[in-house]
Structures are given as structure tokens and as C-alpha cells.
Amino acid sequence: MCFAMYTKSHCLHKYASQCAAQKHCLTTAFGEAEGCCYIEKESRYIMIERGLYYANAAFSKMIRSVGGEWNDTKHRPVVCLIKSTEHDGLYWAIPMGKLNHRDEAQQNRLSFYLNLPEKDIRSCYYHVGRTTTRSIFFISDAIPITDKYIESVHTGADNKHYIIKNPNLIAELERKLKRVLSVENSNKNHFRQHITDVKEYLLQELSE
């Protein structure tokens, strides 16, 4: 369950960055959580599976420090799809983007990958599904993440933390992610973000 901890303050701001208070949460006047996962005591969010979040600037810096590429200039959300079996604090995240922000050439490229035979691993590099809008999931850019690198939650029209609940979408994302990770397990750092190096770095942080 997603909830705010150790706080009695009331804030109507959509994002933590909009709040001038040192400790931020989104709660009702009665102290009931309205979808924000901010922990006042630790100044961190509690990640939950299938929730949408925004990573902080330190995340891209960390990826580049281990030799990976991460060029998120548009500050797009990621979905923390599943918890890693290697550590309770480690999640597998998939970057997202808006489908209607793609030009014709990008749409054609996306269509090419999506229509490849299922046996072709490249057919798992992308997926299209609906969240708060028609979204592209960049599965070949999948990355491990911990709550240390979460800046804020992505909210829906109701201003509550958006969590993917469509079972068909979840099943396809998990299927494609597992195939991508299988390739990575056979060929370390096969993808540009250096999945293995990032994972090992995060596991080391979690053990400290």
C-alpha cells in the first residue's frame, strides 16, 4: 500500500518540488494519504510495483558514472514495474513517453519494431499502452532503480499517484522486460544504459 508516513501537514501541491516546506506530502486535511509516497522521516518515496515516478538528476549522473547512457532531457516518467528478486529495495523501471509526441519518422520506426515476429528480440524493445495518456514504453532502456533516486510521483487526473492496473498491459510489459533482461544476463552491458553495471552499483549502495 502507498501512504505518507510521519506527517501531519497538509499540502495541495501536485509535486514535491512545488512545496516550500522542508518536508512535503500530499494528504487530506484529516491526514489521510491521497496517493503520495513521500516519507517525511527519510525524505524518500516508498516505491510500489507498477507505480509511475520521476527520477532525480542524481540518477542520470550515476548511470553515466558507471559508463552508461541516459539522456532524459524531457524529464519523462518511469514505471517501476517489478521488484528485483536480488534485493527488496531494487526495482526494474521502464522509461515512458507520449505517443503523440512522435513525428512521422519516429512513428514509422516504432511501428517497424512492434510488428517484428515475436521470436525477434527487437519486438520487445517497445510497447504502446494507455496510462494517463497513450504511452510508449522504452523497454530496451529498462533500468534498475532504488527509492534514493525517486524525485516525485506521476499523478493522474484525480491528482493521485498513478499505478498501472490493466492486466493485459502489465502482462505484456513483464513479458518483454523479462526477455530483454534475459539478453542482458547472457551479454553483460549489452544495452547502452549498462544495466549490469548500474545494478551492481545499486546493490552495493543497498548493502552499505
The single residue listed with the C-alpha cell 514504453 is 137
Same domain, 95 and 178: yes
| pLDDT for residue 123 is more than 60 | yes
Give me the residue label for grid cell 549502495.
205
Q: Alpha-carbon distance 177 to 140, whole Å?
A: 8
Question: Which amino acid makes up residue 123?
Answer: S
Could you give the CA distance from residue 8 to residue 11 in angstroms, rounded to a whole number?
10
**Given this model, what pLDDT does residue 37 score?**
43
Q: What residues contact 105, with CB distance under 8 A and at least 6 apart?
A: none
Instruction: State pTM to two decimals.
Output: 0.78
| Residues 62 and 2 reside in one and the same domain | no
> Within this chain, do residues 7 and 81 fall inside the same structural domain, yes or no?
no
Residues 70 and 152 in one domain: yes
Q: Residue 26 carries which side chain, given as an amino acid letter? A: L
149 shares its domain with 100: yes
Banded pLDDT at 6 (limits 50, 70, 90)? very low
Same domain, 52 and 39: no
The CATH number for 75's domain is: 3.10.129.130
Last residue of a domain, one of 29, 46, 63: 46
Q: What dihedral angle (degrees, nearest 10) is formed by the CA atoms of 10, 12, 14, 18?
A: -80
Residue 94: the pLDDT is: 98
Question: Cβ–Cβ contacts within 10 Å for residue 133, how many?
Answer: 11
Q: Residue 197 belongs to what domain range?
A: 47-207
User: Is residue 141 domain-shared with residue 167, that is, in the same domain?
Assistant: yes
Task: Please indicate, yes or no, whether residues 16 and 84 belong to a single structural domain of this protein.
Answer: no
Co-location of 26 and 71 in the same domain: no
98 shares a domain with 42: no
For residues 78 and 132, state if they share a domain: yes
Euclidean distance between CA atoms 20 and 3, whole angstroms: 21
Residue spans of beta strands (DSSP E) within the chain:
38-39, 44-45, 51-55, 78-83, 91-98, 126-130, 134-138, 143-145, 150-153
Which of 88-92, 103-107, 144-148, 175-179 is predicted least confidently?
103-107
Judgement on whether residues 35 and 63 belong to the same structural domain of the protein:
no
pLDDT, tens digit, 9 for 90 and up, residues 20-63: 444 444 444 434 444 444 434 345 778 999 999 999 999 999 99
Q: How many domains does the chain have?
A: 2
pLDDT of residue 71: 79
The pLDDT of residue 204 is above 90: yes
- For residues 105-114, give the mean pLDDT: 94
Average the pLDDT over each of 29-38, 86-95, 163-172, 183-192 and give the range with the smallest value: 29-38
- Mean pLDDT for the stretch of residues 75-96: 95
